[in-house]
Amino acid sequence: MSLIYTWFSTCVTIFYFKVVSVSPLMKATLKYLTGIAGPSGYGSKTTADEVAQDCLSSMPTSHQLTAIVTGATSGIGAETARVLAKRGVRVVIPARNLRKAEKVKESIQRESPEAEIIILEIDLSSFASIQRCCSEFLSLGLPLHILINNAGKYSQKLEFSEDKIELTFATNYLGHFLLTEMLLGKMVETASQSCIQGRIVNVSSVIHNWVDRKHFCFSKLLSPKSYNGTRAYAQSKLANILHAKELARQLKARKANVTINAVHPGIVKTGIIRDYRGFITDSLYFMASKLLKSTSQGAATTCYVALSPQTAGLSGKYFADCNESRCSALANEEAEARKLWKQTRALIHRRFLVPVGQNVKGSSTN
């Protein structure tokens, strides 16, 4: 069986190089299926373990990194936390379900007894909860080198947060926006003191391409009159990219030694689709299993952007399969990114009296 698979992969690889140059879409698809490495030396089949080993093996042990990983109680978030901790990174897991977080911690420490895991309580859909979590983290007096905004919420039905905001948008975008704002000062300070560049990673999705301009209206994102779960999820992931684009511009203007990028982890069967359980879904996943990434492959791009020397200095970019990639035209619009930023900051300040934009010394809120 392995011989047949090897023969098939070889044939596909030859076809990729000899025939498909006329079709960029087909070329990209075959590149994904065969795992052909891109300019970074990695591809769709690369695992998070491989990336972390390459990137952290040469780092002096005296420079322990501290990383916050949201959504680390399952899926690619848990794998990201495991891989980072295995390589000596101190990992902070903010979690709504503390019992699940403890289980992840125990699992990581069984594999890596020396791993340092800190658990904090957070509900990313609640601004008050985010403020409490950030205050608790800052009170620990720890540095912060890496912030991975990984947590994702998908809801088939219309739900609202305690702040009366549509739940998917509140969790996936607004929650991570506020978390980043409240921790940015610590990241800039850490980067300045340690001379190690800070890295922020927004986990987005290729599904952001589905969003068209007429549906991307801030007030409707907060409280939609008609609701579609897939569209709401796609809109939140577009907002994650726009957030990265605008914050990258601001950080560059301030000459802060912190970068922010967005990543598409690939299509992985994780808890994000738990609401779609059923015979049809399971059957489709069985048939498409060769197209899906493993959890470790799904976490690879996040680890690459967060750790690799190759991504040093890159900011406001979009990555897939551990290589810089193209996002949608709407996601690339600087004016759209700036408008969303201003609307978000105004909402937070007006409704929740959060002093955003004051966590970075000398920062500008323009």
Active site residues: 227
Cα–Cα distance between 330 and 134 in angstroms, integer?
31
Return the bridge partners of 160, or none: 166
Contact criterion met (CB below 8 Å) for 193 and 220: no
Structure tokens at 13: 């690889």
Range 223-248 burial, b when 16+ CB lie within 10 A, else e: ebeeeebebbbbbbbbbbbbbbbbbb
Cα torsion for 105, 108, 113, 118, to the nearest 10°?
A: -30
Nearest to 144 by CA among 182, 88, 187: 187
Determine the length of the chain. 366
In which order are the strands placed within the sheet that holds 198-203?
117-121, 90-95, 66-69, 146-149, 198-203, 258-264, 318-320, 323-324
